[in-house]
Structures are given as C-alpha cells and as structure tokens.
C-alpha cells in the first residue's frame, strides 16, 4: 500500500536545521502594515522588507532547496517540501517573489535553455529580481488561448505589441513570463512563451489598477514595440500553450514544493476567527457562546482539516499519477473556504465590520472586511472556480465536455 512519504535521514536533519534557523531568525514585525499576501505588495517599503526576508531564507537554504546547485539552488531532493512546511509552521512572512518561485522558476527549469537557467534562476531564488506573469488580457482570461499580444520576428529579436491586464507585482518586476501570439493562423499553436523585460524597458508602461479594497495590488501592462531578444524565448516558436500549461499546473497547486512557504496558513486563519468569536459580543455574551456561530465554525474547521488531508494526499505517489488532480481540488476548495471564513468573521463582527483598515476602532485592525473583499480575487485568480470545476469534471473525472 502507498504511504505518505516520511522524511529520509537527510530530510530530518534539514528539518531540524530549518526549525532552529527559523527560531533564531524570525524577523521583527514591521512598523508598517504588510499586505494580506505577497501579490498585493504596494509600497517599496513593503517590498524591501519582504525581499530581505526572502534573501535571508535563501542564504540559509530554505528557498531553492531542490534546485540544482549550478542554478543557485541547494541541490537537495524533497527538501523544499520540508522547508515549506517549517516556514508555514513558524508563520513567518511570505516570500515576495511568489510568481517567480511558484511559476516562472519551475517553468524555466522544465522548458528553458541552459543559458536561461543559469542567467535567471539564481536572482529569482534570492528575490533580487522580482517576476510577474503576463498571461491575461482584456479578452483572454478564462479563454487564455485567445491572447492577442503579438510578437513579430525581426532578425534576432521579437517586437512585441499588446495589452496585459490584472498583472500582479508588475510594478516591481524586472521580468515577466509572457504569453504572446506569433501566428494568427492557429489558435493554440500560434502562441509562444517569452521572458520579457518590465522595469525600465523601452515601450513598457505599467499602470496600477485600484481594487474594491482601495488597494492596487495588480496592474495593466501596455507594450509598444518592446524588443525581446530571441534568446529570451522559452521553448519552440508555437509551443507557448504547452509551456503555459506547465506554468498553470504550478500556479494551481505546486506552491508548496516551489518554496513559497510562510505567510498565514488556513489553520492560523481559523484560530484567529475563533479568537474573534470569543471577543465579539452577541446578545450580551461572546459570539462563541452562540450555538449557531459555533456550528458554523465547526463546519469550517472540518473543511480546514479536509484540506490538510488533501495536501497529504498530494504526497502519496499512487494518487498523483495525474498531476492536476489534487492541486486543482486544493485551489478550488481553499479559495472558496477562505471566502466563507472571511464571510463568517464579517457576520460575527456585525455592524463593526463597517469599520475598515485604518480605523482604530475596527476589530482586529479591520483585517476581516479587507479579507472578505480580497477573497473574491482568489476564486478568480489562477482560473475561476467555474473553470476549475470544468477542468476537474472533464479532464480529471472524464465527464463529457461542456459546449
């Protein structure tokens, strides 16, 4: 019978190293507010605090642990899973180069040239160069193959024109993983994948987009005659769809092994919700004493535990023959659970939930109404819940394709 993989002696030793290092090196809480997740970074101050933290973790071997040494990694096997678990257990800040670590890095490792791996991976792992993902466009979100940004060959270069939208972290990014059209004759086969310059590049304009939270975590990116050398093309011309599917596979669930650990876990969030229920009044008593509230919290606790078990199933060899199966479920379930958890917190707060971040009377500093508004983004980003359900139904369960 297959079992969840236990630590090898080397992994157990590495786990001990991670624990001791994290105990000794946990960063002091910043004096400014950190965003609720790494793609929401808005200020240089937040960026450099988080970049420093990633860099420290990298130097201690907690980031890039499984990458080959020649590309700046630690050369381990199964070590990143251990580091990610320990980072999550220690509830440290998250890794700010989340798109680099969870999407660009694994994609370059799988499809990039030797030169690309040596050039881009070390600075990606250390957090010195921030990455963003340039896939979505005004008419290419769920229908990603409809990308219209066009790259035209010009000798050893490509000249790129187009409009990308909802691009997280673009304001701080040095590089973008770009999906562009190189032929109008074939829909999927007309796409090619590039490493595009962002910060300071001629022809690139980045415009922040304001969300309903009042924050501006993501951006529009306009590209006008942007020059990309052919050596920054990833894989063959016309293979962009295949490469993008590798990126999406990691985006939708490869994060644990990619080393984006840290940040608040779902269990942390559940515990904060319980603490809130114990503090907030309802009918003259703490909300926690109300059996309806406790019932709702219990339902959420069961779902949190279910997800923890789903993550464990993802490490059972016999269950991951289809690499999409468990990550897709986890993305769908976790994003909807976060939404329901924040909704219950807002409900428990009652009228106080109208006090927002920045108002000193707001319970928990206003984090719950902010989390509630933000939670809608997670059921859309990386493929909306409807699309995830379609994919699970059609490709994992083998149900007939919807028309």
Ligand X SMILES: Cc1cc2nc3c(=O)[nH]c(=O)nc-3n(C[C@H](O)[C@H](O)[C@H](O)COP(=O)(O)OP(=O)(O)OC[C@H]3O[C@@H](n4cnc5c(N)ncnc54)[C@H](O)[C@@H]3O)c2cc1C
- The window from 145-153, 266-274, 341-349, 379-387 that contacts ligand X (CB under 6 A) reads 379-387
Contact 296, 222 (CB under 8 A): no
Contact 50, 57 (CB under 8 A): no
- The window from 6-14, 28-36, 113-121, 375-383 that contacts ligand X (CB under 6 A) reads 375-383
The 123-142 contact track toward ligand X, x by CB under 6 A, reads ---------xxxxx----xx
Out of 60, 381, 392, 396, point to the residue binding ligand X (CB under 6 A). Answer: 381
Q: How far apart are CA 134 and CA 164, in angstroms?
A: 6
387 binds ligand X (CB under 6 A): yes
384 binds ligand X (CB under 6 A): yes
The secondary structure of 150-203 as a DSSP string is EEEEETTEEEEEEEEEEEETGGG-SEEEEEEES-SS-SSTTEEEEEEE-TT-TT
Query: Which tokens is 354 given?
Result: 């109208």
Please give the size of the binding site for ligand X, defined by CB under 6 A. 19
Contact 337, 306 (CB under 8 A): no
For the bound state, the minimum distance from the C-beta of residue 292 to ligand X, rounded and expressed in Å, comes to: 31
Out of 320, 390, 391, 393, point to the residue binding ligand X (CB under 6 A). Answer: 390
Task: Name which of residues 169 to 228 contact ligand X (CB under 6 A).
Answer: 218
State the CB neighbour count (10 A cutoff) for residue 229. Answer: 13
Residue nearest to ligand X (CB): 141
- The window from 24-32, 280-288, 293-301, 377-385 that contacts ligand X (CB under 6 A) reads 377-385
Q: How far apart are CA 350 and CA 267, in angstroms?
A: 23
- The window from 180-188, 239-247, 306-314, 376-384 that contacts ligand X (CB under 6 A) reads 376-384
Active-site annotation holds for 137: no
Q: How far apart are CA 377 and CA 371, in angstroms?
A: 10
Smaller CB separation from ligand X, 167 or 266: 167
For the bound state, the minimum distance from the C-beta of residue 236 to ligand X, rounded and expressed in Å, comes to: 22
Q: How far apart are CA 265 and CA 199, in angstroms?
A: 32
Smaller CB separation from ligand X, 254 or 383: 383
Q: Is 227 helix (H, G, I), strand (E, B) or coil?
A: strand
Strand partners for 218: 168, 209
- The window from 117-125, 304-312, 364-372, 384-392 that contacts ligand X (CB under 6 A) reads 384-392
Q: How far apart are CA 71 and CA 202, in angstroms?
A: 28
Query: Which tokens is 394 given?
Result: 């059609």
386 binds ligand X (CB under 6 A): yes
Greatest alpha-carbon pair distance for the chain in Å reads: 75
Report how far apart the first and last C-alpha atoms of the chain are (Å, whole number). Answer: 40
157 binds ligand X (CB under 6 A): no
122 binds ligand X (CB under 6 A): no
The 22-41 contact track toward ligand X, x by CB under 6 A, reads --------------------
* Catalytic residue (choose from 129, 137, 251, 296): 251
Binding residues for ligand X (CB under 6 A): 132-136, 141-142, 166-168, 218, 377, 380-381, 383-384, 386-387, 390
Q: Which residues are catalytic?
A: 251
């Amino acid at each position: 019978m297959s079992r969840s993989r236990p630590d090898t002696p080397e992994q157990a030793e590495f786990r001990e190293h991670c624990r001791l290092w994290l105990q000794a090196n946990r960063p002091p809480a910043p004096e400014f507010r950190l965003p609720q997740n790494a793609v929401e970074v808005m200020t240089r101050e937040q960026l450099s605090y988080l970049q420093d933290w990633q860099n420290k973790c990298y130097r201690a071997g907690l980031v890039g642990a499984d990458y080959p040494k020649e590309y700046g990694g630690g050369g381990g096997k199964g070590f990143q899973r251990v580091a990610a678990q320990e980072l999550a257990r220690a509830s440290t800040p998250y890794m700010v180069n989340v798109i680099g670590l969870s999407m660009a890095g694994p994609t370059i490792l799988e499809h990039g040239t030797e030169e690309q791996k040596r050039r881009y991976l070390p600075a990606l792992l250390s957090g010195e160069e921030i990455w963003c993902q340039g896939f979505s466009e005004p008419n290419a979100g769920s229908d990603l193959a409809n990308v219209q940004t066009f790259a035209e060959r010009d000798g050893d270069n490509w000249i790129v024109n187009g409009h990308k939208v909802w691009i997280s972290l673009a304001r701080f990014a040095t590089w973008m993983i770009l999906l562009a059209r190189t032929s109008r004759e074939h829909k999927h086969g007309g796409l090619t994948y590039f490493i595009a310059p962002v910060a300071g590049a001629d022809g690139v304009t980045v415009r922040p987009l304001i969300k309903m939270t009042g924050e501006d975590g993501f951006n529009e990116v306009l590209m006008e005659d942007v020059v990309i050398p052919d050596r920054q093309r990833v894989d063959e011309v016309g293979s962009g769809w295949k490469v993008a599917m590798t990126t999406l596979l990691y985006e939708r669930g490869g994060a644990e092994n990619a080393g984006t650990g840290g940040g608040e876990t779902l269990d942390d969030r559940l515990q904060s919700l319980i603490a809130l229920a114990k503090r907030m009044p309802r009918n003259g008593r703490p909300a926690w004493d109300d059996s309806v509230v406790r019932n709702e919290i219990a339902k959420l606790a069961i779902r949190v535990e279910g997800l923890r078990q789903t993550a464990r199933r993802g490490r059972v060899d016999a269950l991951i023959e289809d690499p999409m199966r468990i990550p897709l479920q986890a993305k769908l379930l976790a994003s909807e659970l976060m939404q329901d958890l924040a909704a219950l917190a807002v409900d428990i707060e009652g009228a106080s939930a109208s006090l927002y971040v920045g108002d000193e009377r707001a319970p928990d500093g206003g984090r719950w109404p902010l989390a509630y508004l933000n939670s809608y983004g997670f059921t859309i980003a990386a493929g909306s819940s409807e699309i995830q359900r379609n994919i699970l139904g059609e490709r994992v369960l083998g149900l007939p394709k919807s028309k």
